[in-house]
Each structure stands twice: as structure tokens, then as C-alpha cells.
Amino acid sequence: LKRVGILTGGGDCSGLNAVIRAVTRTAIIQYGAEVVGLEDGFDGLVFNRTMPLTTRSTKDILTLGGTILGTTNKGNPFAYREFDDRGEIVVRDLSAQAMATFRSLELDCLFVVGGEGTLELGYKFQQMGMPVVGIPKTIDNDLFGTDYTFGFQTAVQVACDAMDRLHTTGRSHDRVMILEVMGRNAGWIALEAGLAGGAHIILIPEIPYNLDNVVTKIRHRIRGKSPFSIIMVAEGAREEGGERITQGTAGTRLQGVEQLGGIGFHLANQIRERIPLEVRTTVLGHIQRGGSPTAFDRVLGTRLGAAAVDAAARGDFGTMVALKTPDIVLVPLSELAGLCRTVPVDHQLLRAAEATGVNLGRGAM
Ligand code: F6P
């Protein structure tokens, strides 16, 4: 390896900088290569916006949240959206321009750090002849092919801390406290943080909830010694037979406009109509994605970054590095397209939750 490039695409999460640092240090220390950072995802490749990455410039970033390279989930080079002179949106294919930049930078390979969408773009460039190694990233932990993505554990820890705080205030006021966390299609964050935080009810997208079942659980608690209830709900959760309410985060987005009130608020209204207790909703939103990564995510990011450079040195392109506990393995990028790793409805975590009295809002089975 003589010269390698790296970009981060899609939504950020904690641990991205650990990956950037690991790729940079491994490429330099093990292979004597130069490392070029591309700014703002694929935009950096299209418009030739780069920064040199060295052991010095990546010093002290292991613990830093976000990405020093910047990111965007809007810059798809195959369908790039811009405003023309009249303010109208035009869509152009700038993939050839990105390929030209890649060649002019004389890169031996590109490390693409991202979620499903970003990795799919990486695969498209691989098919055009660009040597690509993917590194999986999403706080949702719903990427196929890897046991865990970095950023997930950090998000779970943040959500768990929030649960601990909701517990004390919920108990003091005898209220129903709802925490809405991220997870559009998969309920991993809600499930793990709900278990860790002692939620009484956990609602995930994979199990459309039955309102009667949820209300019965709250009523049962009201009759007991601790009348308060803590509900963990994933943003993608929905009622049986109902539509998904939260689109994105912090509420519903209609035509790009943020509206107050996602699933957490909707559920609160449903419960208020049936239960005499006060109900409060907290939407955790992007707090889950910011800040310093947990030790687990720092280690995972470092392992994936180092393994990605080793894979490139061996010429194993068109692959993604992945955690198959306890190993880091390679998965072909071609096997990932369009797959989302949701929570299987008979997963052991769900079993552990129900065995310990957590209500998952399941309908009649
Ligand atoms: O996919 C990661 C994720 O954080 C989701 O959990 C969430 O729905 C979405 O991204 C938020 O995206 P944005 O930052 O564009 O609001």
C-alpha cells in the first residue's frame, strides 16, 4: 500500500474517530503508506476536498465524538441533488467525477465507513473498478453481517443513563415516564437499554404493540406497591394495525418540516385516555449519537480500522470488515445490499425480558 483514502458517510456516531485513527496509524506504522482523508463523505471524492491524515493529526481523537472528516447523508454521487440558477433541484450523476478524483489522488484503495446506504455506494464504486473496503457503522446496530456496529454500545449507555434518571423522577411523582430512543427499523437500542435500565415496558418496531396489553401492565403496577411505570419505545415502533408515526428523530417530519410529536407523544396520549396517572415523554434524539465513545466502541472501532487496512494490504477488496465474535472477519459487500438486521421475534434478549416480567406489548399470539 502506498496511498490510501478514507471517508465517513451517513449519520455520525461515537467511534468514527477511533476508526479514522486506527486506519491512519495502521497504514503508516505497518505499511509506510500515506493516508488521505476525504471530507464530508462522498462529497470529498466528487469535489476533491481532502485533508492529509497523519499520526500527529489523529492524535487525541480516540475519545472524540463525531468525525473529524465530516459526513453527509445527502451526497449520493450517482444521483447528486443541487439547486440550479432558478433555484430548482437538479439531479446529476457525478460518479465519473468521483472516479476521476480517486485516480488523480493516486489512491490504492478507499476505506468507506458507513451504514447500509454508504456501503451500497462503496459497492457501486467497487463495481466501477475502485478498490473498496467497507467499515460498518450505525448506532442502530441493524447492519447485516456483523454482530455489533460501533456507536451502538455508546447509544445504549446514554439511553440507559437516561432511564436511570427517569426512574427516580417517575417514582417520586407516581407517573408513567416514556423514553423514545432511536431505531427506525430495528429495536436493538430500545431492547438493550430498556433491559439495562429496568424498563417495565419495551416497545420495538419488530413487535407492533397491543395497547390493551400495555395498559393492563400499567394498571397492574398501579395496584401494586410502585404505581409508576417506565416505558422504553423505539422511534420506529407502531401499534398493531397502525402506521409508523416517528419518521427520523425528534418527532414526525412532513415534507422535511419537523413536527412535534412522534411515537413517544402519541403513546402518551393513548395512555392518558385510559389511565389516571400523569404521563411524560422524553425524546432522547441525537444525544445518543454525540459525545465520547464507550471503551467497547473505542476497541471495536480500533479493531475494525486495523483489520480493514490489513485486508486492503492483502488485496481483499469489495469486502466489509465485521465482528463475528470473537473474530474480525470479511463479508463481501455484494451480500449486504438492502438487508436490515432486525430483532428476531424469538430472540433470547426478548425471552430474557419477558422472563423477568418486562411487557413487550405483544398482541394475542
Ligand atoms: O440510522 C441512524 C439514525 O440515527 C436513526 O436511528 C435515526 O432515525 C436517524 O439516523 C436520524 O437521522 P438524522 O440525523 O438525519 O435525523
Q: Is 288 in the pocket of ligand 1 (CB under 6 A)?
A: no
Cell of 129: 473498478
Q: Is 15 in the pocket of ligand 1 (CB under 6 A)?
A: no
The residue nearest atom 10 of ligand 1, judged by CA position, is 11
pLDDT 10s digits, 136-149: 999 999 999 999 99
Ligand 1 centroid–CA 284 distance in Å is 12
Q: Is 186 in the pocket of ligand 1 (CB under 6 A)?
A: no
Measured CA angle at 213 (ends 166, 274), to 5 deg: 70
Give pLDDT, residue 250: 43
Average pLDDT over residues 317-329: 97
* Most informative mutation of 119, 249, 258 for ligand 1 (most atoms within 8 A of CB): 249
Q: Is the dihedral of CA 350, 135, 11, 70 positive or negative?
A: positive
**Beta pairing, strands 327-332 & 319-324:** antiparallel
Burial of residue 105 (CB within 10 Å: 0-12, 13-18, 19+) is: middle
Q: Is 183 in the pocket of ligand 1 (CB under 6 A)?
A: yes
Q: Are 196 and 298 in contact (CB under 8 A)?
A: no
Q: Which atom of ligand 1 is nearest to the CA of 115?
A: 1
Q: Is the dihedral of CA 161, 181, 346, 221 positive or negative?
A: positive
Report ipTM for this prediction.
0.94
Q: Is the peptide bond before 326 cis (omega within 30 degrees of 0)?
A: yes
Q: Are 164 and 177 in contact (CB under 8 A)?
A: no
Ligand 1 centroid–CA 157 distance in Å is 17
Q: Is 248 in the pocket of ligand 1 (CB under 6 A)?
A: yes
Least confident stretch, 14-23, 77-86, 154-163, 312-321: 77-86
Q: Is 5 in the pocket of ligand 1 (CB under 6 A)?
A: no
Q: At residue 89, does pLDDT exceed 80?
A: yes
Q: At residue 9, does pLDDT exceed 60?
A: yes
Q: At residue 261, does pLDDT exceed 80?
A: no
Least confident stretch, 183-187, 298-302, 304-308, 310-314: 183-187
Compute the distance between CA of residue 163 and CA of residue 138 in angstroms, rounded to an integer. Answer: 22
Three-state DSSP string of the chain: CCEEEEEECCCCCCCHHHHHHHHHHHHHHHHCCEEEEECCCHHHHHCCCEEEECCCCCCCCCCCCCCCCCCCCCCCHHHEEEECCCCCEEEECCHHHHHHHHHHCCCCEEEEEECHHHHHHHHHHHHCCCCEEEEEECCCCCECCCCCCECHHHHHHHHHHHHHHHHHHHHHHCCEEEEEECCCCCCHHHHHHHHHCCCCEEECCCCCECHHHHHHHHHHHHHCCCCCEEEEEECCCCECCCCCCCCCCCCEEECCEEECCCHHHHHHHHHHCCCCCCEEEEECHHHHCCCCCCHHHHHHHHHHHHHHHHHHHHCCCCEEEEEECCEEEEEEHHHCCCCECCCCCCCHHHHHHHHCCCECCCCCC
Give pLDDT, residue 257: 47
Ligand 1 centroid–CA 11 distance in Å is 6
pLDDT 10s digits, 148-191: 999 999 999 999 999 999 999 999 999 999 999 999 899 999 99
Q: At residue 264, does pLDDT exceed 50?
A: yes
Phi and psi at residue 280, in whole multiples of 5°?
-130, 145
Q: How far is CA 300 from CA 18, 48, 137, 147, 287, in A?
A: 9, 30, 11, 11, 21
Annotated binding site: 11, 74-75, 115-118, 138-140, 175, 182-184, 235, 280, 286-289
The residue nearest atom 7 of ligand 1, judged by CA position, is 248
Average pLDDT in the chain: 93
Question: Which residue type occupies 14?
Answer: S
pLDDT 10s digits, 209-256: 999 999 999 999 999 988 999 999 999 999 998 777 765 544 454 444
Phi and psi at residue 14, in whole multiples of 5°?
-70, 135
Whole-model pTM above 0.90? yes
Compute the distance between CA of residue 34 and CA of residue 52 in angstroms, rounded to an integer. Answer: 8
Compute the distance between CA of residue 5 and CA of residue 132 in angstroms, rounded to an integer. Answer: 10
Q: Are 237 and 187 in contact (CB under 8 A)?
A: yes
Give pLDDT, residue 247: 56
* Most informative mutation of 137, 140, 191 for ligand 1 (most atoms within 8 A of CB): 140
Give pLDDT, residue 245: 75
Q: Which atom of ligand 1 is nearest to the CA of 288?
A: 4
